[in-house]
Amino acid sequence: MAEKEPVKEKIPRVVMPEQRPDIRRRNFDEVPLGYTSEMAVEEASRCLQCKRPPCVAGCPVDIDIPAFIGHIRAGDFDEAIKKILEKNRLPAICGRVCPQETQCEIRCVLGKKGEPVAIGNLERFAADFARINGIEGAPPRQKPTGKRVAVVGSGPAGLTVAGDLIAKGHEVTVFEAFHKPGGVLVYGIPEFRLPKEIVFAEVALLDKDGVDIECNMVVGRTVTLDELFDEGYDAIFLGVGAGLPRFMDIPGENLVGIMSANEYLTRANLMKAYRFPEYDTPIPRGKNVAVLGAGNVAMDAARTAIRLGADEARIVYRRSRQEMPARAAEIHHAEEEGIEFLFLTNPKRFLGDDSGHVIGMECLRMELGEPDASGRRRPVPIEGSEFELGCDLVVVAVGSGANPLLTNSIKDLVLNRWGYIEADPETGKTSLDGVWAGGDIVTGSATVILAMGAGRKAADSMHEYLTGGRRLS
């Protein structure tokens, strides 16, 4: 809170009610409970309706923020969702998981002296209101072009391309390797942050618009890119995400009870292992859990562990609090739920028992040295500082890389030195004619909205290609 009351800010930012930490740490229900209509109208009334709104420039998909907030303020929620859907087909998702504090809200004029308008909360409200009340607001579909587009991967990048191109009159098929569409939204981000029902509802709207979603299709294996062209697709978008887990590469890492965050979260979210044995997939219920890393993924893993009954769940991070890459809100939620943080600590090896199960880690204490390439101070081990930390489950959440399964199957597709696809940042065009790419498989792990922004640009470029009378080969 600012010390002086800002001139225009009469009403304080409306706080979204949440489940109490002591209760929610043992259930998988969503943490924030959403605004009521009254709360939304009150929050919307704080917006200054700037003539040249700086917030819009912070949105990777250019939502007309003041316009939709204006509709909410007027109580016209139908119009609000229509305004959002003009630019964003996944608003209930974005309202929940976008880092608004570094995108739109950080630019809000109110934020200079007090607290910015809660743009994300309002987006979420409008989307939830529409879903619950069955309001449809997607722009009408343009007349069919007869062109066919294949989208590989059903994460936010792929879904955005699909939504944009179906609206422009093309035929769109999405191919997804998993048995459910949604990408990280479904397998990675936990239920308590993003209920899967909401993801499926937003995907169902695309389905209703005519997007054909084919799951269980591992492109590169079940079908190749060349075969898709042969089957009559005129253009292809690759949005396969950055699905390759990184490990620590230290001794003992294959002990039972040590797994990647991808595995842990996929079991919990996609496979619903938190409802075992009602669902058949098991998940280790560690009592003393160490999560390595301090990004959003690590927070999700630690908070999942607590909900699965851990007595202790610890974030073990080699740098200090300041360098943690996770969103402040996620760190805050984790702390409220009793997650502990062990900074300047790095495991050196894992310790196991006779049955090959992890029982602890030998760790080194670190100190911060000179800044490294990322601009953050490099952690250096302190000689002789080894100590043991007991644990019965370790989740490795130290980032991910480019999964080569698809990219290796495509001849002549240019990749960068880390294996990500080279694509034009303005258009998403790859080195291959008729092939675009976007999202994490181009940028490395980023955010939902950046993947959507990349999808939007690619869709525009693909549309131009498909309608520009260029010869398709």
Partner 1 sequence: MFEIVRREEMAKGTVILNEIEAPRIARKAEPGQFVILKANETGERIPLTMADTDPERGTITVIYMVVGRSTALFRELRVGEGYQDMIGPLGRSAHLERVGTVVCVGGGTGVAVLYPITRGLKQLGNRVISIIGARTKDLLILDDEMKAISDELHVCTDDGSYGHHGFVTDVLKTVLEEEVVELAVAVGPVLMMKFVSEITRPYNIKTLVSLNPIMIDGTGMCGGCRVSVGGENKFACIDGPEFDGHKVDFDQLMQRLQAYRQEEIQSLEAHRCKLEP
> Can you give the binding site for partner 1, defined by CB under 8 A?
177-179, 215-218, 221-223, 243-245, 247, 253-254, 256-257, 259-260, 262-263, 266-267, 271-272, 276-282, 284, 355-357, 403-405
Considering the complex, state which of residue 344 and residue 394 has its C-beta at the smaller distance from partner 1: 394
Q: What is the DSSP string of 77-146?
A: HHHHHHHHHTT-S-HHHHHHHS-GGGTTGGG-THHHHSPPP-HHHHHHHHHHHHHHTT---PPPPPPP--
Strand segments (E) across 332-396: 340-342, 345-352, 358-371, 377-381, 387-390, 393-396
Judged by beta carbon distances under 5 to 8 A according to partner kind, the member of ligand FAD, partner 1, none in contact with residue 179 is: partner 1
The SS3 call for residue 440 is: helix
Tokens, residue 244 = 């390759």
Considering the complex, state which of residue 82 and residue 333 has its C-beta at the smaller distance from ligand FAD: 333
Considering the complex, state which of residue 288 and residue 447 has its C-beta at the smaller distance from ligand FAD: 447
**Sites of contact with ligand FAD (CB under 6 A):** 97-99, 152-158, 175-178, 183-184, 188-189, 217-220, 239-241, 243, 265, 296-297, 300, 405-406, 439-441, 445-449, 451
User: In sequence order, what are the residues at sequence separation of 6 or more whose Cβ sits closer than 8 angstroms to the Cβ of residue 458?
Assistant: 157, 161, 237, 423, 427, 428, 429, 436, 437, 438
Judged by beta carbon distances under 5 to 8 A according to partner kind, the member of ligand FAD, partner 1, none in contact with residue 103 is: none
CB of 354 to partner 1, least distance (A): 10
Pairing mode of beta strands 387-390, 171-175:
unpaired
Cα 296 from Cα 305, distance rounded (Å): 14
Q: Which amino acid is it at 189?
A: I
Write the CA distances from 126 to 91, 99, 452, integer angstroms. 8, 18, 19
Considering the complex, state which of residue 85 and residue 189 has its C-beta at the smaller distance from partner 1: 189
Cα 44 from Cα 68, distance rounded (Å): 9
Judged by beta carbon distances under 5 to 8 A according to partner kind, the member of partner 1, ligand FAD, none in contact with residue 219 is: ligand FAD
Considering the complex, state which of residue 157 and residue 364 has its C-beta at the smaller distance from ligand FAD: 157
CB of 93 to ligand FAD, least distance (A): 9
Considering the complex, state which of residue 344 and residue 423 has its C-beta at the smaller distance from ligand FAD: 423
Considering the complex, state which of residue 45 and residue 281 has its C-beta at the smaller distance from partner 1: 281
End-to-end alpha-carbon separation of the chain, Å?
Answer: 60
Cα 202 from Cα 128, distance rounded (Å): 10
CB of 433 to partner 1, least distance (A): 25
CB of 76 to ligand FAD, least distance (A): 28
Judged by beta carbon distances under 5 to 8 A according to partner kind, the member of partner 1, ligand FAD, none in contact with residue 387 is: none
CB of 187 to ligand FAD, least distance (A): 7
Judged by beta carbon distances under 5 to 8 A according to partner kind, the member of ligand FAD, partner 1, none in contact with residue 188 is: ligand FAD
Judged by beta carbon distances under 5 to 8 A according to partner kind, the member of partner 1, ligand FAD, none in contact with residue 404 is: partner 1
Tokens, residue 11 = 């009403």
Please report where in the chains the tokens 């605004």 appear, as a residue. 35
Cα 184 from Cα 266, distance rounded (Å): 9
CB of 350 to ligand FAD, least distance (A): 22
Judged by beta carbon distances under 5 to 8 A according to partner kind, the member of ligand FAD, partner 1, none in contact with residue 130 is: none
Judged by beta carbon distances under 5 to 8 A according to partner kind, the member of partner 1, ligand FAD, none in contact with residue 189 is: ligand FAD
Taking Cα atoms as reference points, which of 88, 393, 89 lies closest to residue 259?
393
Judged by beta carbon distances under 5 to 8 A according to partner kind, the member of partner 1, ligand FAD, none in contact with residue 348 is: none
The SS3 call for residue 223 is: strand
CB of 473 to ligand FAD, least distance (A): 23
User: What single-letter DSSP state applies at residue 408?
Assistant: T
User: In sequence order, what are the residues at sequence separation of 6 or more whose Cβ sits closer than 8 angstroms to the Cβ of residue 24?
Assistant: 18, 31, 192, 337
Considering the complex, state which of residue 296 and residue 346 has its C-beta at the smaller distance from ligand FAD: 296
CB of 259 to partner 1, least distance (A): 6
CB of 155 to ligand FAD, least distance (A): 2
